[in-house]
């Protein structure tokens, strides 16, 4: 087992968080503010504890310009320089509203090209 001083451990945690921020395109939006997401899993996500407030309520998760999820969150805990959040509800974002009726005539889902040889 290896033992490290608190200063060394803090330095390693800071370097790991910096590397995660650089690699990730994920970000959380609340109001007019954006915060980079360091990592995400099925039931939550993590942001840098030093630069993000204690978020709660309704947020939007983006991957670059693409809107991925709208979620209801609560802060769970701080761990190794990260603030961890848990989803109470996580809904995938859609680019159009769902239909609340049955279409009378079926619409094609896709067009096939190159089938003129028959």
What confidence category does residue 21 fall into, taking pLDDT thresholds of 50, 70 and 90?
A: low
The answer to whether position 59 is within a domain reads: yes
Residue 73 lies in a domain: yes
Whether the pLDDT of residue 6 is over 70: the answer is yes
Is position 52 within any domain?
Answer: yes
Q: Which domain holds residue 75?
A: 25-92
- Torsion angles phi and psi, residue 111, rounded to 5: -105, 135
Domain tally, the chain? 1
Q: Which residue has the higher pLDDT, 38 or 15?
A: 38
Give pTM, 2 decimals: 0.62
Write down the pLDDT at residue 59: 92
Greatest mean pLDDT range, 61-65, 73-77, 108-112 = 61-65
Res. 15: pLDDT tops 70: yes
**In this structure, what CATH number is given to the domain that contains residue 40?**
2.40.10.430
Classify residue 42 by its DSSP letter: T
pLDDT given for residue 12 in this prediction:
78
Alpha helices (H) in 24-100, listed in sequence order: none
Report if residue 87 sits inside a domain.
Answer: yes
């Amino acid at each position: 087992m290896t033992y490290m001083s608190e200063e060394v451990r803090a330095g390693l945690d800071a370097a790991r968080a910096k590397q995660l921020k650089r690699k990730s395109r994920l970000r959380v939006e609340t109001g007019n503010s954006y915060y980079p997401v360091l990592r995400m899993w099925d039931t939550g996500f993590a942001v840098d504890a030093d630069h993000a407030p204690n978020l709660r309520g309704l947020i939007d998760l983006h991957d670059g310009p693409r809107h991925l999820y709208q979620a209801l969150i609560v802060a769970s805990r701080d761990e190794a320089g990260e603030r961890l959040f848990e989803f109470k509800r996580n809904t995938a974002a859609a680019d159009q509203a769902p239909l609340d009726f049955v279409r009378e005539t079926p619409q094609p889902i896709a067009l096939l090209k190159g089938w003129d040889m028959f």
